[in-house]
Structure formats: structure tokens, C-alpha cells
Structure 1
Amino acid sequence: MTEPAGGVAKQELQDFLRTADTLTLDDRRLLVQQALVLVEHNYVHRPLKEAMHAVNPVQRLRLLAQRLNRQTPATMGPEWRFHAELSEVFHSVRDLHTNYLLPEPYASKVAYLPYLIEEYHTGEERHYVVTMTVEGFEAPGFGPGVAVTHWNGVPIDRAVEANAARCAGGNPAARHARGLESLTIRPLVLHVPPEESWVVLTYVDADGIVRELREGWRVTDNLPSFVDADRLTAAAVAQGLDLGTDEIGRAVRKLYVPQVATAHETVPDARLTAEPAEPGAELPTTMPSIFRARSIVTPSGTFGHLRVFSFNVNDPGEFVAEFVRLARLLPQNGLVLDVRGNGGGHIHAAEFLLQTLTPHPITPEPAQFVTTPLNVRLCGRHEENPTGEIDLGPWCPSMNQALETGSVYSGGFPITPVAGANAIGQQYFGPVVLITDARCYSATDIFAAGFQDHGIGDVLGADDNTGAGGANVWTHELLKLLMELPSPEEGSPYLPLPGQANMRVSIRRTLRVHALAGTPVEDLGVVPSHRHRMTRRDVLEDNADLLARAAELLSARPVRRLDVRVGADDLTLTTRLVDRADVYVDGRPRASADVTAEVVTVPVTGAGSARVIRVAGFQDGELVAARTVVPV
């Protein structure tokens, strides 16, 4: 097998591990003590996890601390064993928000094999196939399309399930998905290094010949995150992210699609176009690591396909604006919105996006703290938003009351501002189908739940469930900072961590709205309304059958239109499948008109001088379209 010189700088796993141990015994003791603080006093899902999964992470940490207290520097054992044991305590709660993040040199590295494996189905039977290889990698009869049968001599399906058992997914579909993706790529900030130095892959080539490929694990630097979750910013405070999926997504871009691997979330010099996408064509975007937009031709017609790879951005307004720009250039008769493999990110970005797809007002998901004395202290310090970045005031009355009543959780209040979630209103008027899978997590779970709860469209699942991560996550470093601002508090339990290690914890849990109001997203996730098992054509031919199924669903839905042109004293409406229009000027009702033609004019005195005009379109008494206009 060969691989060209240059390209991705890599290191053999064993060479990397020889220089990786840096923690002293006191460092290890400190890490366990700080883990206890987070899990016992901050972790919002602990009551749920202890009940659902029959685990006791607090007691496990106490036992680990006791064993460390009996050790000496001579008897403490190798560092990888400590990392494995502490990581296992965090993994036991099956919460991808709540992690032990390994110190340097692990923190910025990713271990990988030079190929990716995906699964597809024929009926109920699973098959595994190589779908991508690192550029320049070659081996006899090896490449995309070869069938994988064994992993180190173990039947591949059994190997995936064994690996899944070590992953922290909250439901079987989520664990299986993570067991598969981590077979060949493992961010070392979250994954203890592979136990084996190399892997023997058994595969069947295109000629039906059974072959074996032995490849060693390599280590390389991963692309950095766009968002610094340790700083006190709106993006860090509103973080809802499966860090593992996000790390793997960045590593895949670096290793397999370097043309979209950007150093910043926005590429200001992207060559954009204002022309609608031609059938089968892809649109350039200022955010290539975030979006892929194209017009797809299917047996049911030509539709838009907009892939959202991540919500992990710093500016949700910029994110939504680019989404809207792309959606307007795609076919207006139907949109396939694809969030598979999206580990989440900025909760505001996820919930701000919902309004662009529906005429109905958006109700952001409420969130709750667990009511511990430490969380009460934390909220009290930021009750009046002294830093201008975080306002925990809404939660404080119920938190203080809970100390008297014994309530486990605070009251529920939205993380996402209601005004921001409804600021621009509906922007796309065709039907929308949302595609999900078991790797959708956190802010993406929140988005999918909101999409379903607001009745925006069909949810087509490539798995039986989303990843089921319903929480806002804060890092240990952010919690420490919140206790230091606006001025340091004496007796803060958060101490600096050694070696650039870190931890994350689910701090606020989110609840669904409308018909499922009060139902937690965590461990339950979003069940799709339609199920599609991935086919061989899907994994090797750019999702051909999956997109065809989504197009079938779109073709069965009505296509509406509501365009508004503002005159000095009237509005000209161009509509489709709308029989009544109500007009609101600066928040007040001003006119209502029956729509009897495709183009109608509605008199509205002073329309041209209004601040905001909203036109609500109805069919048979049901709100079906809405347009918000800010006159120039």
C-alpha cells in the first residue's frame, strides 16, 4: 500500500504515545475532584441518567479518588489507564454533552485509519462498505465500494456493536452510529487512544477476491473549532454541541474533503451568484464548512437540497442570512433540508432558523437547571446580567424557591430570545422535508424537535431516532469564569485544570413544546414520521435513493406563494393557494382582503412609511403563509 509524501502531516500512533504522558499524581487527583464538582452539583441530567441507566457516577468518582489517594508516584500506573477510567465514568451516563476532555498533547489530535466505512441495508440485513479513502492511499483491490466482512478477525457487525458499547449515545441507534464512525476516526480529546497499534481489515474486492489489509493507526492535528466554548460569549453560553461529532466532522473535512476545510466559518471572498441554481447545479456559499446547497433532479421533479453540516457558529444572524440567501436561489417548489451528522452548536442559530420555514410564531424550547446550592449561587451571580453576555435572572426565583420546596428542577425558560426566533418570519414558502439520523444531536435535536412540534413538514429519518441530546452544555473553564466575573468569588469550587485538560457538563435540560410540551429531549430524541434505510446507492452515489424518497414526500405537498410589494398607500400581493390576506402594520391590524386572483392590490394608507408590515395568508381559514416586510 502507498500514500504520497506531503499532504496531511501524520505520525504513527505508537510514536505519539511515547511522548504523551504529562500528568502527575496530584494532577490526577485534582481532575477527579473537579469531575465530582460538575457531576454532583451542576449536572442537570443526573437524576434521569441514574434512573434510566442504573448508574452511579458520583460514587464511581469517589471510589476513583480514594484509590488515587492510596497511590504514590511509583505505583500510580500508566497515564492512559487513568484517562480510560475517568472517561468511562463520564461515558457511563450516556450523555454526549458530559465529557472528560483529555489534556495536551491529546486535545488537538485525531487518530485515524486511511479509509471510512459506512453501512447500508438490503431489507433488514446490514452491509458495510468502504466509501472514501485518504487522497493518494492505495492497496491491491481496495477502494470505495469494497465490501468489509471482518475487523481484526471479528465479523464486522459484531465489531461495530462492541465498539458502540463503549460509546455514550443515549439510545441504541445513537450508540450504533457512533460505534461505526469511531471505528476509523477518533478525536483523542474524547477517545482514549486505540488499544491496537494496527487494524487488519478483511474485504471483498470488485472481482470477488477476499483480501486483507493491515494498516496502522496514524495521528494528526485536527482543524480547530470555530467557536471558543471557554470564553464568556453568547455562542459559548448558548452551546448545544456533541463535541465528538463536531471533531469528527472537522477531521473528515481535513482528511477527505480539504477543499471545504476553512480556517474561519465565513469565507468573505467566495464567488457568489445571484442567479437561481440550474437543475443539478451547486451554489457557492460564504460558509462552505456549514452549508452545501444544490438543485437536485429526481424522478418526482427538481427540488432544492440544503445540507446543514453544523450549527456551531459565532453569529446566528449571519448563519440565518446565508441560509435564506441560498434557499431563495434554490427551486421554490420544495426543499430537502438535510441535517444528518450535524452535532449541533449555537442553540440560537438552530431555533432562529425555524421561523424561515413556517408562517406560525416560533416557541423556543424552555430549559431548566437542576436545583443544587451551587447552581443557585451561579445563577445569583448573573441574575442582573452584569457582564452583558449572560442573563440568568429568569431562573433565579424558581431556583431560590426550590431550596425550600425540594423541587428537583427550576422553572423552564427559553435560552433563545423569543424576539430573535420570530424577527424575520417565513422566507421559504414551498414544502420542506427534514432528513435526520442518529448522529443529529444537541442543538440539532432541538431544531428537529422544533421542526416537528411546529408542524413545519415531514421528518424523514435515516435511523429510528435522532441522537437524543437535549441540553445546553458549559465547559469547566466557562463555569470557573462565571464564578470570577464580574469579580472573583471567594471559595469558588472550580480550580484550574492541569495540562489544558477540560470537562463539559449538561447544565440546562431542554423540553419540547406544543403537543409534546414538557417532554425532555434527552434520551428520547425525535422519532421521524417516515423511515428510510440507506441503500448501497445512497452511500456510494451521493444519497440517490434517500433524496428520491424525500422528493416523493415533497411532491405530495402543496406549493404556496406570498410575495408583497409595498407602495406608498397600498400593497400588491402575488399569491398561490391563498384565499385571504390579513395585513398588520407596526404590530396593529390594518386590513383584510379576500384573494380572488393571483395578483391583488390591498389599500393600506401610509404603507410606505411603516416600520414593519406583516401579511398573513390563509386558505379555508387556516394560516398557511406569512411575509414580513421592512419598507425601505
Structure 2
Amino acid sequence: MTEPRKTVTKKPATRRAVTRKAARAKESAQAAAVPLPQFLAGAGNLTLAQRKLLVDQSLLLLGENYVHLPLKAAMHAVNPLQRLRVLRARMERQTDATMEPEWIFHRQMSSIFHSVRDLHTNYLLPAPFAGKVAYLPFMIEKCFDTVGEHYLITRMVTGYSAPQFGPGAEVTHWNGTPIARAVALNGAVFAGSNDAANLARGLESLTLRPLVIQAPPDEDWVTLTYTGLDGSAQELREQWKVTTNLPPMTDLDAITEASAAMGLDLDSDEKSRAKKVLYVRDVVDLERGESSAALTAPVAVGAADLPTTMPGVFRARAVTTSHGTFGHLRIFTFSVTDPVAFRDEFVRLAAALPQDGLIVDVRDNGGGHIYASEFTLQTMTPRRIAPEPVQFISTALNLRICRRHKDNPSGIDLGPWFDSLDLATETGATYSAAKPITPEDGANELGQTYYGPVVLVTDARCYSATDIFAAGFADHEIGMILGVDDNTGAGGANVWTHGLLATLLNEPPPADPTSPYVALPNGANLRVAIRRTLRVGELSGTPVEDVGVRPHAIHRMTRADLLSGNADLLEAAGQMLAGMPRRRLEVSTSMAGTTLTVGLEVEGIDRVDLYLDGRPISSEDLVGVPLGIEILDVSPGQLLRADAFSGGQLIASRRVLV
């Protein structure tokens, strides 16, 4: 759960001004909301020809570009291509006068795409649905105790009230259905890759639905039965409303490094932005409406938070548990345009937190820029990072795209996959060769910067680039993983839009006159998992999709977690950190002429190897006392690297520019 946050400033007058501004923004957001029936009354003007075009282009993407189609057909016994063909055939018997209402068409298309249970592969509704979100003015989250599971109200939109209703009220029934069953039924409609992901999506979508990716609710209102804050039995009826969401960070249709390297669950990303609109307007104000924006100066959003230039991306604070004081660094999204700036802000925040242990918390993170996720791993381990490799499915259309961009260093370089796709017709290979998206040099450019033990906290809403981050964390044995669910969301792919695919065959000029991609009507779009990711390390070659990353330990969320700032979760993470080895590697240097003196102070280390510009210089066995080593013929500007070992295992590495 994300705690409510208020902007912290030094001057009381300034704080009052910010508070007044936030209040006005909240009131403005509520004023802009309209009831769902009113919104739907003006929605829907696709012609029959436009609907046929959407079906035809969906057949193209799923049949020629979709990398997971063989896996999904086998694992979930689905046939989305046949469903699209049947829908298309029935449309030939319709006219503009006899065709079904548009909401039925959207629901059929959404159902077909959801059937593959892949949050990367989506039918995106046209205007006026794009950019809108349907919501109820409260949030429900699940917790556990010795009796079983409970569903609590954890947040409310500012200004909303109901009898004995607020954080801590327990929901028992949803439209007369027991709440746990309602969540399961709702989850079955959506595209989670495993049971945990389905239930997580089902719960979240009870009260929040981005209309670009989810069909509007069937009901105009819901009836909620709950146990009030005083223990009384209560019931309320609440109407669905529709408001405008924040814009996405990246133009996913443009040919850019960011759009090509995107690993994003759009549903989670849309919901994350919508939660800011509804519940965290202070961050919206700081970002000036630009999602995940980097500020010119760090700002502390909450009283206990460290100031950050990326308040919509990070929250960092020291937390005290019965096992010690540790750093808690929450990553809300990897959806940024500058992955190096993301990595550097992570490094800065981690350095300002306690060094005895770090809790990296990626719950509810739908992913984003794959570079950002894999560039960050190096900062927590001495091991060299091997970015996860990816594969295209072998089709003639994917070959055409890779051929056009196989020698394109200034744009999207698809050369690494071209040769294997070119041979696929002869070899019968289902997939291309597996090559990484993330540049290996960038994934190892900085090296380790945090030396304490690390625990990663995950849940079933972790997806895409966040799944890749969790997989890399596990594969490189960076630390322990504590899950609040049995698995991550299991979304292992790079995702491209129909718009990006069309642009790839048209740029650089001249455009391909035989391109099969046709512009979609009314701002509709399609997304497809284009390249699947594979694990490295001990699980090398295992797909992330539908498998995900399993934690080392499970913590079921408690009432205290939902209502008191993740108190029990942080306590569990602190217990794990306290049981992990402590390492210390301090390196100091001084120059006298061309002689470099290296000072070493260590803990939990029995050997240090020194390298100068990558060449081995010295290997020293240590006995726990400070050690000085002299190195001759050293020039300023050379890079010194100290690799530390315990029992023959590399456990720490530090780089120093001489």
C-alpha cells in the first residue's frame, strides 16, 4: 500500500499555499468528472468499415508479430486468431444499420485480446475512451489475519464521505456477492498470467478502470455492503464516474530508443497515473501534469521522505524495525525517458539511506523502460550484469522489419536478430536468436555503489520491465526476494504498438508502399508483445512470460500494513536483512608522483584483488586490519577497481578514479 503523502516545505506560508493549490486541483478534478451513463451517451461512432479494419489489423499483429502465440495457445488452450476470423465473417453479414452497438464490439475485441492472458497484448479503445478512466471514489485492498482474508477501504477521494466509512472499514459484499467471489469473478475477465495476477487485477479493477484498455463497467452504480468503523452493518450505493487521466510519459508510437525498449503493462501504468490524479494530487502539482517528470531540484513529498528530483518515480526513507534501521526505497515506475538519470537518482537516494540494509520495494510497478530496470541492477552487486536476452517469433513480416533496420545505428538497431530470422525459413526455427535489448556496457558502466544487504519486495502486479528487474535480481543473486503474493505478474516481453510497427516500415524514407499496416480509426491502437525475454544464470533460457519470479519468502499483507504504513511488511523485510551477511569495503587513494597508495578497510572479506584500467595489479590476503598497498607508474585518470572475496566468492567491488 502507498501511504498518503503531503508536501513538506520549510516556510509555513508556502506550505499553506501549496495546500490551497492542491485542494483547488482536487476540486477541479472532481468537477471534471461526469457520471458513466452521461459519458457513454456521447460515445460510439465507428462505422462497419472501421470495425472491419480493426479486426483485420488485429489478425495481422497476432498472426505475424505476436511472439507468445504458440505459448499461449498451448498453456491456455486459446485460439484468438480463429475468434477474430469468426467475428470478421459475421461482420460481412451486417450493415451500418444492422451492426451491433459499439460497446458490444469493443467488449468482443477486448475479450479476444484478454483471452491470451497477456497484459502486453491489448486492444486499445478509440476516442472518446482513450485518456479517460472510470472510477469509484475509494480504494479497496486485501489483508490477512489468523481468521482469513479481509477487504478494507484504504483510501478515499478528498471530500467523499459515507456513514462510518473510511480507511479501515471492511467490505463484505459487492452488489450482493461475497467480496472474495466478486474479486475472483472480476479477475477472470482480465489478463493476468497466473492466479495471483488475476486476483490482483480483479481487486484493483473493482474501483478503477482505464477505459483505453478496459471496457466500461456494465453497471451504472454498485451497491457496497460493509462493516463500518464502529462495527455497524452499513450499505451504500455509489455511481461510477469518468474523468481524464494524466498523459503517458512516452510517445509509444514514435521511433525512439525509449519506445523500442519499452516493457510496460499499460493497465498498471494507466492506473498508477489515475491514482495520482485521484489520491496524490501533490505529486501531480509537483510534476505539473507531466508523468514521471524530473524536477530541477529535489523535493520531499512526505515528512519522512528524502528529497528527490523524481517524486512520481521514487520514495526513499529510513525505517526503524526491531531488527535495526534500514533504507526503504520504493520504485513506483520504470516509465522514464532517461534511464541513466533514473539510475543515478536511485544511486543518490540509496547512498543517503542507512547502509546496513536496503529494502527495494517494486510492488504495483507495471514496468516501463527496460534500460532503466537493467541499468539499476549493477549498483547493488559486484557481479557483471548479463541483460536478459530477447527473441522475435520467426515470421516473414518480422524479417522485413529487421531487414529494414539492421544497419540503423542512429535509430532502432535490429541487426542482432536479422541473420537468425533470415535463416529461419531454412532451419525451421520458431524463434530468432536471443540477444539483449539493454546494452551490456550500459548495464555495467557504473558498477556497485551500495554494499549493504538488499531485500526486494514484489507482488503480483509487478510486470514487464519490473519482472525483468526482479528476474535479473534473482539471476545475479543480488539479495533475497520477499513477496506479498506467490509470484510476480509474469510478463516477460518487449512491447510495441501498431503505430510503432507501421512507422518502422515507413521510416527512414522512402516508405514501404507494400506495408500491411493501415492507420487505425478514431485514435484506436493495438499493442503486441514483440520480443520475449529469457532468464540468465541458473535458469538460463527459461521464459519470464507466464512463469514470473518466485520470492524466497512470502509475507501476507496485514491490517497494520494497509493502515499503518506497511508496518508488518517492513518488519519482515528487516528480519531478512538482519540475517544476511554484512560486508564493508572502503578504498582510499593518494598519489605521490607516479606512485599510488591504496588504503583498504574491510569487514567480512578475506581477499582483495586490485585492477588498474582492467589489468590485474595485486591480490592481497587480508586479516581484518587496514592495509596499504603501493602501485608504481600510475597516471592520473586511470580507473582502480577493488574486487573483494570471502571464501573464494566475489562479494563486493568498488571503483575509484585515480
TM range (shorter): over 0.9
SS at match of 1:294: strand
- Structure 2 CA distance for partners of 1:193 and 1:598, relative to 1, 3 Å: farther
Q: CA deviation at 1:112?
A: 0.2
Deviation at 1:560, TM superposition (A): 1.4
Distance in 2 (alpha carbons) for counterparts of 1:124 and 1:350: 38
Matched, 1:440 2:436: no
Query: Percent of aligned positions with the same letter in both sequences?
Result: 56
5 Å-filtered alignment, 1:468-617, equals: 468-487=490-509, 488-568=511-591, 569-607=596-634, 609-617=636-644
Residues of 2 paired with 1:190 and 1:552: CA distance? 40
Q: Does 1:84 align with 2:111?
A: no
**In structure 2, what is the Cα distance between the partners aligned to 1:151 and 1:607?**
72
Return the offset for 1:226. Answer: 1.1
Instruction: Determine if contact 1:585/1:610 at 8 Å carries over to the other structure.
Output: no
TM-score by length of 1: 0.96
Aligned AA (2:396): P
Deviation of 1:69 after TM superposition, in Å, equals 1.7
- 2:128 is equivalent to residue 105 of structure 1: yes
Following superposition, the deviation at residue 572 of structure 1 comes to: 2.1
Deviates more, 1:476-485 or 1:618-627: 618-627
Q: Deviations over 1:474-501 (max 9, x none)?
A: 0000000000111211210111010011
Cα gap change, 1:607 to 1:286, in 2 (>3 Å): farther
Is 1:423 aligned with 2:445?
yes
SS across alignment from 1:451: helix
Checking the alignment, whether the CA contact within 8 Å between 1:113 and 1:184 is kept in structure 2 is yes
| Mapped partners of 1:77, 1:325: distance in 2 | 56
Do the aligned residues in 2 keep the contact of 1:576 with 1:598 (CA within 8 Å)? Answer: no
Q: CA deviation at 1:271?
A: 4.0
Q: CA deviation at 1:139?
A: 1.0
SS at the partner of 2:92?
Answer: helix
Cα distance in 1, alignment partners of residues 502 and 298 from structure 2: 43
Tell me the alpha carbon deviations over residues 212-264 of structure 1, each in whole angstroms, 9 at most, x when there is no partner: 11110011000111111111111100000100001101101110111122234
CA contact (8 A) 1:382 1:392 kept: yes
Contact 2:263 2:367 survives alignment (8 Å): yes
* Aligned equivalents of 2:458, 2:559: Cα separation in 1: 18
Assess, with a 3 A threshold, how the Cα gap between structure 1 residues 177 and 320 changes in structure 2: closer, same or farther: same
Aligned match of 2:84: 61
- Give CA deviations for 1:594-614 in whole Å, capped at 9, x if unaligned: 333453222122445243221
Aligned residues: 623
Superposed CA deviations along residues 354-413 of structure 1, whole A, max 9, x for unmatched, are 100100111111100000111111111111116x12111111111111111111111100
SS in 2 for 1:64: helix
1:143 partner SS: coil
Residues in 2 aligned to 1:605 and 1:71: alpha-carbon distance in whole angstroms: 85
Task: Return the offset for 1:77.
Answer: 1.7
Match of 2:94 in 1: 71
**Counterpart mapping for 1:7-22 below 5 A:** 7-8=29-30, 9-22=32-45
Q: Is the 8 A contact 1:241 1:344 kept in 2?
A: yes
For residues 302 and 591 of structure 1, what CA distance do their matches in structure 2 show?
36
| Distance (Å, rounded) in 2 between the aligned partners of 1:597 and 1:298 | 29
Query: Deviation of residue 574 (structure 1)?
Result: 2.8
Q: Secondary structure at the match of 1:320?
A: helix
Quick check: 1:455 aligned with 2:477?
yes
The answer to whether the 8 A contact 1:114-1:137 is kept is yes
Distance 1:357 1:376 in 2: 38
* Counterpart-to-counterpart distance in 2, 1:15 and 1:270: 42
**CA–CA separation in structure 2 for the residues paired with 1:582 and 1:590:** 8
Per-residue CA deviations over 1:494-522 (Å, capped at 9, x if unaligned) read: 11010011010000000001110110000
Between 565-574 and 100-109, the greater mean CA deviation after superposition: 565-574
Partner of 1:143: 166
Residues 67-466 of structure 1: pairs in structure 2 closer than 5 A? 67-123=90-146, 125-261=148-284, 262=287, 263-264=289-290, 265-271=292-298, 281-385=304-408, 388-466=410-488
Does 1:33 find its partner at 2:56?
yes
Deviation at 1:332, TM superposition (A): 0.1
Question: Aligned-pair distance for 1:7?
Answer: 4.2
Q: Where does residue 645 of structure 2 map in the other structure?
A: 618
**Partner amino acid, structure 2, of 1:612:** L
What CA distance in whole angstroms lies between the structure 1 residues aligned with 2:526 and 2:199?
24
Contact 2:29/2:243 (CA < 8 Å) preserved in 1?
no
Contact 2:327–2:357 (CA<8 Å) still a contact in 1? yes
Preserved CA contact (<8 Å) 2:144 2:150: yes
Classify 1:271/1:358 alpha carbon distance in 2 versus 1 (closer, same or farther; 3 Å). closer
For the Cα contact (< 8 Å) 1:29–1:65, is it kept in 2?
A: yes
d(CA) in 1 for partners of 2:625, 2:252: 50
The aligned amino acid for 1:314 is T
After TM superposition, give the deviation of residue 144 of structure 1 in Å.
0.7
> Per the alignment, do residues 602 and 471 of structure 1 end up closer, same or farther by CA in structure 2, a change over 3 Å counting?
same
Aligned to 1:282, the other structure's residue is in SS state: coil
Greater mean deviation of Cα atoms: 332-341 or 565-574 = 565-574
Q: 3-state SS of the aligned residue for 1:82?
A: helix
Post-superposition CA distance 1:69-116 (Å, at most 9, x none): 211000112111100001111000000000001111100000000000
User: Deviation at 1:25?
Assistant: 1.1
Q: Is the contact between residue 371 and residue 409 of structure 1 (CA under 8 Å) also seen in structure 2?
A: yes
TM-align CA RMSD: 1.6
TM-score by length of 2: 0.93
Contact 2:598 2:630 in 1 (8 A): yes
Unaligned runs of 5+ in 1: none
Q: Contact 2:298 / 2:310 at 8 angstroms: preserved in 1? A: no
